[in-house]
Chains A and B, each alone.
Chain A
Amino acid sequence: MSLLSLRDLRVSFGRGGRETAAVAGIGFDLEPGRCVALVGESGSGKSVTARSLLGLHGPGARVEAGRLDVAGQDARRYSDRQWRPVRGTEIGYILQDALVSLDPLRTIGQELGEAVTATTGLRGPAVRERALELLARARMPEPERRLDEYPAQLSGGLRQRALIASALAGDPGVLIADEPTTALDVSVQKEILELFGELKDTGLGLLLISHDLAVVARLADEILVLRGGEVVESGPAADVLGSPQHAYTRTLLDAVPRFDPAAGGRPVARPRAATGDRTGGDTEAPAHVNGAPGTARGNVGEALPGDDAAGIDRQAGSAGVLAAQVASGPGHGEAPRPDGATERPLLSVEGIEKRFGARPVLRGVGLQLYPGRTLGLVGESGSGKTTLSRIIAGYERPDAGSIRWHGADGSGRADGPGGARSTGGARGTSKVGGSAAPDWQRRGVQFVYQDPLSSFDPRFTIGRTLGEALSLVHGRRPRRERKAEITSWLERVGLDGGLAGRRALTLSGGQRQRVAIARALALQPRLLILDEPVSALDVSVQRQILELLDELQAETGVAYLFVSHDLGVVQRMSDDIAVLRDGELREYGPAGQVLARPADAYTRTLIDAVPRLP
Chain B
Amino acid sequence: MSAATTLIGETRGPARRRTGVIGAGAITERIILVACLGLLGLFAVFALWPSLLTWQDPFAADRSLILAPPSLTHPLGTDEIGRDVYTRIVYGTRSTLALGVGAVLISLTLGTVAGLLAGLAPRWVSMIVMRGNDIGAAFPELLLAILIIALFGGGPVNAAIAIGIAGIPYYVRVIRAETLKIRRATFIEAAHGLGLSRTTVLVRHLAPNALRPVVVIATLGLGGATLAGAGLSFLGLGTAPPAPEWGSMLSNARSFLGLGWWAAVFPGLALTLFVASTTIVGRRIQKSLEGRR
Contacts and interface: CB of A to CB of B under 8 A. Distances in A.
B10 A63 contact: yes
Interface in A560-582: none
Interface stretch (A11-19, A122-130, A189-197): A11-19
B14 A60 contact: yes
Contact of B190 (A62, A455, A472): A455
A443 B193 CA distance: 8
A181 B1 CA distance: 37
B62 to A, nearest CB: 58
B194 A468 contact: yes
B33 interface: no
Interface string B1-29: 11111111111111110111100000000
B19 A18 contact: yes
B226 to A, nearest CB: 31
A541 B174 CA distance: 40
Contacts of B18: 60
A8 B208 contact: no
Interface stretch (A268-276, A330-338, A419-427, A584-592): A419-427
Nearest to B293: A458
Given A18-B20, A393-B193, A446-B193, A424 B188 contact: yes
B185 interface: yes
Interface stretch (B195-203, B234-242, B276-284): B195-203
B183 A458 contact: no
B5 to A, nearest CB: 4
Contacts of B206: 424
Contacts of B8: 52, 55, 63-65, 68, 76-78
Contacts of A455: 186-187, 189-190
Contact of B194 (A7, A52, A519): A519
A402 B184 CA distance: 26
A45 to B, nearest CB: 16
Nearest to B205: A457
A423 B192 contact: yes
B5 A10 contact: yes
A68 B5 CA distance: 10
Contacts of A77: 6, 8
A408 interface: no
A66 B13 contact: no
Given A14-B15, A57-B11, A457-B187, A442 B195 contact: yes
A64 B188 contact: no
A469 B194 contact: yes
Contacts of B286: none
A426 to B, nearest CB: 4
Nearest to B9: A63
A59 interface: yes
Contact of A449 (B3, B11, B186): B186
Given A8-B5, A13-B15, A61 B192 contact: no
B185 A454 contact: yes
Contacts of A55: 8-9
B186 to A, nearest CB: 4
B191 interface: yes
B252 interface: no
Contacts of A459: 208-209
Most buried by A among B9, B13, B191, B206: B9
A446 B186 CA distance: 14
Contact of B5 (A65, A423, A433, A447): A65
A134 to B, nearest CB: 31
A149 B180 CA distance: 32
Contacts, number: 133
Contacts of A59: 11-15
A447 B186 CA distance: 11
Contacts of B7: 62-64
Contacts of A67: 1
B189 A64 contact: no
A60 B193 contact: no
B6 A447 contact: no
Contacts of B184: 424, 426
Most buried by A among B11, B190, B198: B190
Nearest to A458: B293
Nearest to A454: B186
Question: In which size bucket is the chain B interface?
Answer: 35 or more
Contacts of B196: 468, 472
B122 interface: yes
Contacts of B186: 449, 451, 454-455
A65 B11 contact: no
Nearest to A83: B9
Nearest to A52: B8
Contacts of A433: 122
Given A64-B6, A66-B5, A459-B208, A423 B11 contact: no
A58 interface: yes
Interface in A491-524: 505, 519, 523
A472 B11 contact: no
Contacts of B16: 15, 60
Most buried by B among A52, A58, A66, A455: A455
Nearest to A444: B195
Nearest to A69: B1
Contacts of A405: none
A456 interface: yes
Contacts of A505: 293
B122 A432 contact: yes
Contact of A422 (B10, B20, B192): B192
Interface in A368-421: 393-395, 421
B193 A421 contact: yes
Contacts of B293: 458, 505
Contacts of A424: 120, 183-184, 188-189, 192, 201, 206
Given A65-B5, A449-B190, A459-B209, A425 B15 contact: no
Interface string B105-126: 0000000000000001010000
Given A59-B14, A64-B7, A65-B8, A423 B188 contact: yes
B15 A523 contact: no
Interface string A14-51: 11101000000000000000000000000000000000
A393 B194 CA distance: 11
A66 B3 contact: yes
Contacts of A64: 5-8
B105 to A, nearest CB: 24
Nearest to B182: A424
A57 B9 contact: yes
Interface in A75-98: 76-78
Given A423-B189, A449-B186, A60 B209 contact: no
A8 B16 CA distance: 25
A521 to B, nearest CB: 12
Interface in A240-286: none
B194 to A, nearest CB: 5
Interface of A: 7-8, 10, 13-16, 18, 52, 55, 57-68, 76-78, 393-395, 421-426, 429, 432-433, 442-443, 446-447, 449, 451, 454-459, 468-469, 472, 505, 519, 523
Interchain residue pairs A-B with the least CB separation, the first 4: A60-B15, A59-B13, A424-B183, A455-B190
Given A394-B193, A449-B186, A523-B194, 7 more contacts: A55-B8, A59-B11, A59-B13, A423-B189, A456-B187, A457-B187, A457-B204
14 contacts: A61-B10, A68-B8, A78-B8, A395-B192, A423-B189, A424-B184, A424-B189, A424-B206, A425-B183, A432-B120, A449-B186, A449-B190, A468-B204, A519-B194
Interface of B: 1-16, 18-21, 120, 122, 183-196, 198, 201, 204-206, 208-209, 293
